Amino acid sequence: MKKIKILLAACLLTALFALSACNTVKGLGKDVEALGGSMQKAGD
């Protein structure tokens, strides 16, 4: 029973870190996209 609780806690922590990493990468992509748009406008 103790092993199941430890395994469940490890799975939950892994899922939490994975979801937060996805949001961070998604936000970075939006920032890079906005920067590219700004550079393109400046070039016009």
Residue 42 confidence (pLDDT): 80
pTM here?
0.51
Q: pLDDT 10s per residue in the chain (44 long)?
A: 889 899 999 989 888 888 777 777 778 788 888 888 888 888 77
Query: What stretches of 1-44 adopt beta strand conformation (E)?
Result: none
Residue 9 confidence (pLDDT): 92
Residue 18 confidence (pLDDT): 80
Residue 35 confidence (pLDDT): 83
DSSP sequence for 3-44:
HHHHHHHHHHHHHHHHHHHHHHHHHHHHHHHHHHHHHHHHH-
